[in-house]
Amino acid sequence: MRHAVRSLCTAFVGTCLLAAWAAAAPRARDLGVPFDGTPGPLNAITDVAGVLVGHTTLISGSGKLKVGQGPIRTGVTAVLPRGRDSLLDPVFAAWFSQNGNGEMTGTAWIEESGFLEGPVMITNTHSVGVVRDATIQWRVAHGTADAAGYFWSLPVVAETWDGWLNDVNGFHVKPEHVFHALDTAHAGAVEEGSVGGGTGMICNGYKGGIGTASRRLDGKDGGYTVGVLVQCNYGTRDNLRIAGINVGREIPAPEPYVFIPSDLAEHGSIIVVVATDAPLLAHQLKRLARRVTLGLGRNGSISGNESGDIFIAFSTANPGAATEGHVADLKMLPNDSLDPVFRATVEATEEAVVNAMVAAHDMVGVDDHRVIALPHEQLQAVLKKYNRLANVN
């Protein structure tokens, strides 16, 4: 049934269809997976005001791989920190590489300047370049030149590898797909699973993709929101922990489940975007980025050699901070108030990964490679065995 909806998803899927689907699809909490902390209203990165997310999902063709023709199972995801102001008003940001077998362009300037200019883009490994240059094109078309009359840009584009399902050497992502993801980025519910950059991804032995979650801090802790979005493509079934339980080992794997060969198990990666409205400076956001690892640890990751585990964190506070030519007035949450923000980051990361897996559907790609989605009922059965299944409303 879920597949039926997916079958509508050809190239250039609009957000309406997906939104309708997303509303109906259960998320990890709906299944009774227990998590700590209090999510925001959407339990999504878009709970941080101003953050927009857009996807272009490219799904077409089937059967034998013909390089340049397909089958195609890929896409682009765009995260805009300040909505349409993102190009003109940078956000404080920082990044961290837990295992650098991957790409995130633009990080040298984030590290140097403390700012993220423009969106965070995520796609497949072989399309980072086209997405990067097209993002500059989009900026030139939509932004205004700087004071010196020219455009200049170091876009942030990250990737994970989808070559098991997608004709990755066919280079099917084109500039118009990048523009579409940027132009259709929206607030509200975020499409999860096999969409956007996450379309062809595999995570912990099951179908992966895009996932998101958020935490709302107590008023006494400032009432800030932390949102996380992941494009998850990492890990092995053996290591997978959900709610502290090694569910990957316990879920039976009868035919027709056809798992990917074990030697491909760690060819994935995970890109994590952390957003918050807490007034954090660049060096504090680096601390958030480093906490992502703790969330992945809860899910059993060992950060395999071939996994590009690269994280970026930004704060939507302090608008105008990067304005040239005058001393800026800033707000900063003191370091000794960060523990609730750290906790939120760890918890939202843990949940976003499970959300990505829960939202994904079985997919058949190049050469009829099949990747099954995490089976919901069996997940629940294992959690119940360990008395870890939460009551579901």
Q: Which residues are catalytic?
A: 269, 307, 309
104 binds a second copy, rule: CB under 8 A: yes
Beta strands in 101-236 (DSSP E): 115-116, 120-124, 156-160, 202-203, 206-207, 209-216, 225-232
Nearest-5° Cα angle at 17, 40 to 139 = 75
Name the phi and psi angles at 57, rounded to 5.
Answer: -110, 125
Q: Is 273 exposed, middle or buried (0-12, 13-18, 19+ CB in 10 A)?
A: buried
For a second copy, the binding residues in 309-368 under the rule CB under 8 A are: 310, 321-339, 342-343, 346
Q: Outline where DSSP puts E strands in 37-71.
A: 52-60
109 near a second copy, judged by CB under 8 A: yes
Smallest distance from a second copy to CB 76, Å: 13
Residue nearer to a second copy on the CB measure, 5 or 97: 97
Q: What's the closest the beta carbon of residue 159 comes to a second copy, in angstroms? A: 9
Indicate the residue among 15 and 199 with the shorter CB distance to a second copy.
Answer: 199
Which is closer to a second copy, CB of 14 or CB of 339? 339
Q: Which of residues 27-66 bind a second copy (CB under 8 A)?
A: 36
Looking at 69-77, 81-89, 211-219, 381-389, which segment touches a second copy (CB under 8 A)? 381-389
Minimal distance, residue 170 CB to a second copy, in Å: 10
Our finding on whether 106 is near a second copy (CB under 8 A) is yes
Question: Which pair of tokens denotes residue 232?
Answer: 């998850």
The residue written with tokens 């979650």 in the block is 213
Tell me how far, at minimum, the Cβ of 304 lies from a second copy, in Å: 5
CA torsion through residues 143, 176, 83, 268, sign: negative
Tokens of 20: 């309708």
Query: Which of positions 196-215 make contact with a second copy (CB under 8 A)?
Result: none
Q: Does residue 319 have a cis bond before it (omega within 30 degrees)?
A: no
Which of 74, 105, 166, 194 is close enough to bind a second copy by CB under 8 A? Answer: 105
Measured in whole angstroms, the distance separating CA 190 from the mean position of its chain's CA atoms is 10
Residues 234-263 that bind a second copy (CB under 8 A): 239, 241, 243-246, 261, 263
Burial class (CB in 10 A: 0-12, 13-18, 19+), 322: middle
> Rule CB under 8 A: which of 112-141 touch a second copy?
112-115, 125-134, 136-137, 140
Other CB atoms within 10 Å distance of the CB of residue 343: 18
- Count residues contacting a second copy (CB under 8 A)? 106
Q: How many angstroms separate the CA atoms of 238 and 225, rounded?
A: 33
Measured CA to CA in angstroms, residue 24 lies from 17, 73, 209, 255, 308 at distances of 11, 23, 18, 28, 32
Residue closer to a second copy by CB (options 17, 364) is 364
Answer yes or no: are the C-beta atoms of 158 and 120 closer than 8 Å: yes
Helix, strand or coil, per DSSP, at residue 255: coil
Task: Tell me, residue by residue from 139 to 178, as one string, x for binding to a second copy by CB under 8 A and - for no binding.
Answer: -x------xx-xxxxx--x---x-x-----x-x-------
Q: 183-200 burial string, b = 16+ CB within 10 Å, else e? A: ebbbbebbbbbbbbbbbb
Q: Name the minimum Å distance from CB 361 to a second copy.
A: 24
Q: How far is the CB of 135 from a second copy (least distance, A)?
A: 8
- H/E stretch holding 271 reads strand 269-276
- Return the number of the residue (140 or 253) whose C-beta is nearest a second copy: 140
Restricted to residues 281-320, the positions that interact with a second copy (CB under 8 A) are 281-284, 287, 290-291, 293-298, 300-306, 308, 310
**255 vs 336, which CB is nearer to a second copy?**
336
Quick one: which of 107, 166, 231, 233 contacts a second copy (CB under 8 A)? 107
Of 20, 108, 258, 392, the one binding a second copy by CB under 8 A: 108
Contacts of residue 389, defined as CB under 8 A and 6 or more positions apart, other chains included, come to 32, 33, 34, 380, 383
Q: Does 99 bind a second copy (CB under 8 A)?
A: yes
Nearer to a second copy, 21 or 138 (CB): 138
The residue (of 220 and 254) whose beta carbon lies closer to a second copy is 220
In the complex, least distance from residue 58 CB atom to a second copy, rounded to whole angstroms: 16
